[in-house]
Amino acid sequence: MHSRPSHNRLSGSAFHSRISALLLAMVSTMAAIYVAGRLWQDAADRVYLIQELDKRNGQGQSAIAVDDTLKIIECREQQKQLSALEMQLAGARQEGFVPKSLSKNEGAHSKKKLLAVIGIITTFGRKKNREAIRKAWMPTGEALKRLGDEKGIIVRFVIGRSPNRGDSLDKEIDKENDQTNDFIILDDQVEASEERPKKTKSFYIHAVENWDAEFYVKVNDDVYVNLDVLGATLTTYIDKPRVYIGCMKSGEVFSEPTHKWYEPDWWKFGDAKSYFRHASGELYAISRALAQFISINRSILRAYAHDDVSAGSWFIGLDVKHIDERKFCCSSWMPGAICTAV
């Protein structure tokens, strides 16, 4: 008889709990709907305000343009920093200051460093000169490969492409190279006498990007070279990080347009009209750091009328050791000379 009131109290308590849970769920749902609505409204208001501001100020596109401009500026700054770091790294390598981790990584992907890469600057219609060089001092076939493998010296003829790309001149060079496999053909370089300074620069860029050598040597195709003496001479300068080796000279700057050696930029060389000291163009060598400098700064290096003057101008403001090596004087033969001009 006393159990019924207790049962009624339990039933009432459960009923009230269910009502409380239902009310809490309703309140939570309404709160969620309210917050979501406010967020949506705020977002819509912000979009509307931005659109109106753009319309009134006429800046709907300027924000994108400014952003793009900033990205371009940032990219250029990064390129400058990269160039500076590459130059520092090149100097560090030459002086022996290379991080161990970098040396290990490079060692896994590169072959033994060469002593020298020699580029013989030639042109169309000079096949007889090239044949004479092959017979006199430049090995051919397997002997050319052994020269690189055993003595660390790479020798190649260097030539550009005809102004009339793909004509008979280009085809003759391609045919000759198929037979001898001893050319560097600069596909992006026009073969012309007035392009010779740029061609020399292109050779150094190609050589340093394709071969890791201590020195890069430029020689004309009317010069005979003693490779043994050249190799021995270059070896004596390996410990010097930035060297420019050649038969150093100066000379008169000619301002008359009709003169054979006319220099269009004659006025830049002062009232005395005399070139700064530079290596004779018949034969000279530069160390790896200088070749890398040319490669990195290719787009801003000035080319003058003559290739030897141009090369000298690239190093005039750098911390470079100019070495007046008389063995490189090809025009005046002497005992133990490296070269002789013909």
228-242 per-position pLDDT tens digit? 999 999 999 999 989
Q: What is the pLDDT of residue 144?
A: 97
**How far is 48 from 341, CA to CA, in rounded Å?**
80
**How far is 96 from 102, CA to CA, in rounded Å?**
12
Q: Which of 27-31, 182-186, 310-314 has the lowest mean pLDDT?
A: 27-31
The better pLDDT of the pair 41, 286 is held by 286
Q: What is the pLDDT of residue 278?
A: 73
The fold of the 114-250+279-341 domain, in CATH, is: Spore Coat Polysaccharide Biosynthesis Protein SpsA; Chain A (3.90.550)
Q: Tokens 């002497």 label which residue?
A: 334
CB atoms under 10 Å from CB of 4, counted, come to 8
User: HSE of 195 in the Cβ direction (CA atoms, 13 Å)?
Assistant: 17
> Which residues lie across from 252 on neighbouring strands?
274
The better pLDDT of the pair 190, 316 is held by 190
Whether pLDDT at 25 is above 50: yes
Decide: helix, strand or coil at residue 131.
Answer: helix
Whether pLDDT at 199 is above 90: yes
Outline where 152-212 has alpha helix (H): 168-180, 196-210
Q: For residue 7, how far is the Cα from the chain centroid?
A: 93
Listed in sequence order, the residues at least 6 apart from 121 whose beta carbon sits closer than 8 Å to its beta carbon are 158, 196, 199, 200, 203, 218, 219, 220, 221, 307
pLDDT band, very low/low/confident/very high, at 337 (cuts 50, 70, 90): confident
Say if CB 247 and CB 324 are below 8 A apart. Answer: yes
Say if CB 200 and CB 101 are below 8 A apart. Answer: no
**How far is 79 from 83, CA to CA, in rounded Å?**
6
**How far is 56 from 216, CA to CA, in rounded Å?**
63
**How far is 189 from 122, CA to CA, in rounded Å?**
13
**How far is 135 from 129, CA to CA, in rounded Å?**
10
Phi-psi category of 122—alpha, beta or left, where left has phi over 0 and alpha has psi -120 to 50? beta
User: What DSSP element (H or E) covers 300?
Assistant: none
pLDDT band, very low/low/confident/very high, at 331 (cuts 50, 70, 90): confident
In degrees and rounded to multiples of 5, residue 29 shows phi and psi of -60, -45
Q: Which of 14-23, 144-153, 265-274 has the lowest mean pLDDT?
A: 265-274
Evaluated on CA atoms 29, 31, 35, 37, the torsion sign reads positive
**How far is 78 from 236, CA to CA, in rounded Å?**
38
User: HSE of 289 in the Cβ direction (CA atoms, 13 Å)?
Assistant: 24
Whether pLDDT at 291 is above 50: yes
- The domain limits of the chain are 114-250+279-341
Listed in sequence order, the residues at least 6 apart from 184 whose beta carbon sits closer than 8 Å to its beta carbon are 119, 156, 157, 158, 159, 203, 206, 207
Percentage of the chain beyond pLDDT 70 is: 60
User: What DSSP element (H or E) covers 57?
Assistant: helix 3-57
Q: What is the pLDDT of residue 62?
A: 45
pLDDT band, very low/low/confident/very high, at 104 (cuts 50, 70, 90): very low
Percentage of the chain beyond pLDDT 90 is: 45
Q: Which of 7-11, 122-126, 208-212, 315-319 has the lowest mean pLDDT?
A: 7-11
pTM (predicted TM-score): 0.65
User: What's the chain's average pLDDT?
Assistant: 78
